[in-house]
């Protein structure tokens, strides 16, 4: 799949934990373009898994996103974003700075995600939590395009994620 990203965009990565969002972001975007919730938790608590600082981490992430968007920089938000609230917040941010909002959805099979989590060892996430995120994503899928994203790209297998290419388009 060819994913076309206009230069003046806010890109939202959407998918359950373990779906490959961060790996994809490292492969296709500059480190400075990617604002990951795990990274901001690590900056605040020295542990990307410390959920007690999640609210503060997202507050700082949003501040950095605002500064990047104001400066006309491509900005990629790397978090699960399976719930409507965070997506709506991102869409408001894009509108505020007159940027295009795009979503790249990682809709991998639940069984694949559960295997990945079992092998990770660096996350204390229960299979139930993964299943909950998968269910939230499945509920969101029919509405994503209506929410206000200029484009929604949906990757449904590991092979699709691996084969995807990101092309930057000038405005």
Could you give the CA distance from residue 54 to residue 105 in angstroms, rounded to a whole number?
22
pLDDT at 165: 97
Q: How many residues does the chain have?
A: 171
pLDDT tens per residue across span 67-105? 999 999 999 999 999 999 999 999 999 999 999 999 999
Q: Can you give the residue range of the structural domain that contains 150?
A: 2-169
pLDDT at 121: 63
- Mean pLDDT, range 32-37, rounded to an integer: 95
pLDDT at 116: 84
Q: Given a cut of 90, is residue 50 above it in pLDDT? A: no
pLDDT tens per residue across span 152-165? 999 999 999 999 99
Angle at 8 between CA 85 and CA 65, to 5 degrees: 45
What confidence category does residue 128 fall into, taking pLDDT thresholds of 50, 70 and 90? confident
Total domains in the fold of the chain: 1
Q: pTM of the prediction?
A: 0.93
Q: What is the mean pLDDT of the chain?
A: 92
What confidence category does residue 117 fall into, taking pLDDT thresholds of 50, 70 and 90? confident
Question: What CATH number did the domain enclosing 60 receive?
Answer: 3.40.50.300
Please answer whether residues 117 and 123 qualify as being in contact, where contact means their C-beta atoms are separated by less than 8 angstroms. yes
pLDDT at 85: 94
Sequence-distant (6+) residues with CB within 8 A of 120 are 18
- Give the pairing type, strands 151-155 and 100-106: parallel
């Amino acid at each position: 799949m060819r994913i076309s990203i206009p230069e003046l965009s806010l890109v939202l990565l959407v998918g359950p934990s373990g779906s490959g969002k961060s790996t994809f972001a490292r492969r296709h975007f500059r480190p400075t373009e990617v604002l990951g919730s795990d990274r901001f938790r690590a900056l605040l608590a020295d542990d990307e898994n410390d959920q007690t600082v999640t609210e503060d981490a997202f507050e700082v992430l949003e501040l950095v996103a605002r500064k990047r968007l104001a400066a006309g920089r491509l900005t990629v938000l790397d978090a699960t974003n399976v719930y409507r609230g965070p997506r709506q917040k991102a869409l408001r941010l894009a509108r505020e700075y007159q940027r295009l909002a795009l979503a790249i959805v990682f809709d991998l099979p639940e069984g694949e995600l559960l295997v990945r989590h079992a092998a990770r060892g660096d996350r204390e996430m229960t299979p139930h939590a993964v299943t909950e995120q998968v269910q939230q994503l499945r509920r969101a899928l029919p509405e994503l395009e209506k929410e206000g994203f200029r484009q929604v790209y949906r990757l449904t297998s590991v092979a699709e994620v691996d084969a995807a290419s990101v092309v930057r388009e000038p405005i």
